[in-house]
Amino acid sequence: MKRVFNFSAGPSMLPLPVLEKAASELVSYGDTGMSVMEMSHRTAAYEAIIGDAQKLLREIMKIPDNYKILFLQGGASTQFAAVPLNLMNGSGKADYIVSGQFSGKAYDEAKKYGDVVIAATSKPDNFTYVPKTDRSSFRPDADYVHICYNNTIFGSKFPYIPDTGDIPLVADMSSCILSEPVDVSKFGMIYAGAQKNVAPAGVTIVIIREDLMGKARPETPTMLDYKIMADNDSMYNTPPCYSIYMAKLVFEWIIELGGLDVMKQMNEKKANLLYDYLDSQSYYTAPVQKESRSVMNVTFVTGDDALDKKFASEAKKVGLDTLAGHRSVGGMRASIYNAMPYEGVEALVAFMKDFAEKYPS
Ligand code: PLP
């Protein structure tokens, strides 16, 4: 069996033990005689799967009791609309920190629904850092403040949790959820598409404080109303059954490894190996300022577009896959999510050294 080190930003690698467990249960799950893919979501067997997934996620992230966990469809991008529809219900104002492409998209979508402003942005500096904010950065009557906690495309992450006072903080954690412990109580809502650290694409996780639900704007589509989804245990309609099952296996894998403290240590060890190498030489440049560096998505360039392209194609030949940067920014990006083994990063650094010697700039 050939498995490459897959540095894709998403969908991305799943832990091998999870894939193997899923393979062993693919055709018949337990004593059901059917695949989870074929199972009605109204059966006891499936209700146990989704119930366990929820329970395990609450345990791993230490999610307080006054927060609901929802398993939704539509990807993180659907949340760009669902957030304003559900939460922009008081003053009709919302403040966005735009620190990358996805927070920009979230801002553009929210503008359709009310008075939305950019409270802070690093756009003029090509998103090479995460802007600093304090309480005075936000309008005191904003219904919520929105951030993207880890910027997948540019390779930056918030080095701090913004202090928004009483204003609920909403965070897109698509590319960093489960990579380290987070204090959920500091957020009104967290959402994440699954296809990086959680499961195959198809399920979107929403973690929301209970008091923020039940006030959706009247035009909110039923499928986007958090209260309706919560009241129906994420089964108002057919949920993304198989992705939720895969998420449950990933949660079990994280618990077996020792939880999010261990995950954080493992991720920092991988990222340090790569950043230490980047800082030790001058052939490659890492554009993101040190304080804002992401542990999940590491971006770097040679400064020569043709060399960058060659880098990705030569790397692929030796089993280091999908290292080209996002199509909008170029360069290279190594996404080193939870499932990327340390050996994958070692192999990447060794390849980077060889490449620099072989193709002097
Ligand atoms: N937000 C972040 C931080 C992302 O990385 C992505 C996708 O890569 C999205 C949102 C969009 O997610 P989806 O494709 O699930 O809509």
Domain spans in the chain, listed from the N-terminal domain onward: 17-257, 259-358
Q: Would you say the CB of residue 200 lies under 6 angstroms from ligand 1? A: no
Contact predicate 130/292, CB 8 Å: yes
Q: How many residues does the chain have?
A: 361
- Residue 135: pLDDT above 90? yes
Q: Ligand 1 test: best mutation among 98, 146, 175, 196, most atoms within 8 Å of CB?
A: 175
Contact predicate 234/48, CB 8 Å: no
CA proximity to 136, closest of 128, 127, 145: 145
Q: What is the pLDDT of residue 329?
A: 85
- For CA atoms 188, 131, 205, 111, the dihedral sign is positive
Ligand 1 centroid, distance to 45 Cα (angstroms): 31
Distance (Å, whole) CA 158 – CA 193 = 18
The structure's pTM equals 0.98
Q: Would you say the CB of residue 75 lies under 6 angstroms from ligand 1? A: yes
* Ligand 1 atom nearest 152 alpha carbon: 5
Ligand 1 centroid, distance to 73 Cα (angstroms): 13
The answer as to CATH 3.40.50.10470 being correct for domain 259-358 is no
Q: What is the pLDDT of residue 327?
A: 84
Residue with tokens 């005689």: 33
Q: In what order do the strands lie in the sheet with 144-148?
A: 67-72, 204-209, 189-193, 169-172, 144-148, 93-98, 115-121
* Ligand 1 atom nearest 153 alpha carbon: 5
CATH number for the segment(s) 17-257 = 3.40.640.10
The CA–CA distances, whole Å, from 231 to 39, 70, 187, 210, 317 equal: 22, 10, 21, 11, 50
Q: Which residues make beta-bridge pairs with 71?
A: 205
Q: Would you say the CB of residue 148 lies under 6 angstroms from ligand 1? A: yes
Q: For 78-107, what is each residue's pLDDT tens digit? A: 999 999 999 999 999 999 999 999 999 999
Q: What is the pLDDT of residue 328?
A: 80
Q: For 217-242, what is each residue's pLDDT tens digit? A: 999 999 999 999 999 999 999 999 99
**Planar angle of CA 54, 57, 63, nearest 5 degrees:** 100
